[in-house]
Amino acid sequence: MLGAATIFGRPALSSSLARLFPDGVVAAELRGWGEAKLLLPEEAIGCESLAPKRLGEFAGGRACARRALSELGHSDALPRGADGRPVWPKGIVGSITHSDGYCAAAVAPSSRIHALGLDAERARPDRDLWPVICRPTELAWLRSLPQHARPIAATIIFSAKEALYKCRCGLVEGWLEFHEVEIMVRWDCLRDAGSFQARLLKDYVPSGLSDRPLSGTFRLDDELVVTGIALPSGT
């Protein structure tokens, strides 16, 4: 039953997560198993077939989104649209992510932020996946790094592309393939944060996103990579 769904603890506002984005973004996150919570009735529609783990992640993401939205004066449920994406309140843009015991959401007024994408990933040590995710220039960068830093670096690239896809989804339809985006990462392997530029390699965004690179940032928390990218309004 949906009433048995749990989320990972109690969501809390996160200033460090909000700093992945321009001013005006509010973010919330949660970690670890915690007290049981229910999805709001409007949010539970269509969730009957979800496995317990997926249902918990879904509920956790919604709880984070509601916590962040409350800072912007919104307290309603966050249902899914026909395409499965959250139906954000009018005048709000947002993004939700989860990864093995971690959930987070970021929201902002659309008057300040045109679109945003948030993604969290655990480190990816499987090198067989790297050519699937990375373009040749990105693989060359990975090979230039110390061996111990390469799994995290590959995860940064993957997560940056996922964040860009989520940002783009707020503007246009259509799938974005990994090799249709090129990521240039700025990161000192000794630091737990950095930045990146994401460049779309073909013109398939008629409005909202130009063909110039978009800038994003990321943070590292043990084996967790969290990336954020946003398109400010008026750009």
Amino acid at 171: L
Per-residue pLDDT at 91 exceeds 50: yes
Specify the fold of 2-110.
Answer: Ribosomal Protein L22; Chain A (3.90.470)
Q: What percent of the chain has pLDDT over 70?
A: 86
Domain boundaries, the chain: 2-110, 118-232
Rounded to 5 degrees, φ, ψ at 23 are: -55, 145
So what CATH class is 118-232? Answer: alpha beta
The model carries a pTM of 0.90
Per-residue pLDDT at 144 exceeds 90: yes
The pLDDT of residue 210 is 55
Task: Count Cβ atoms below 10 Å from residue 206 Cβ, excluding itself.
Answer: 8
Beta pairing class for 102-109 and 193-200: unpaired
More confident call, 84 vs 158:
158
Q: Assign 221 to helix, strand or coil.
A: strand
Same fold, 2-110 and 118-232: yes
Per-residue pLDDT at 40 exceeds 90: no
* Helix 136-144 and helix 150-169, axial crossing angle in degrees, nearest 10: 150
Instruction: State the average pLDDT for the chain.
Output: 86
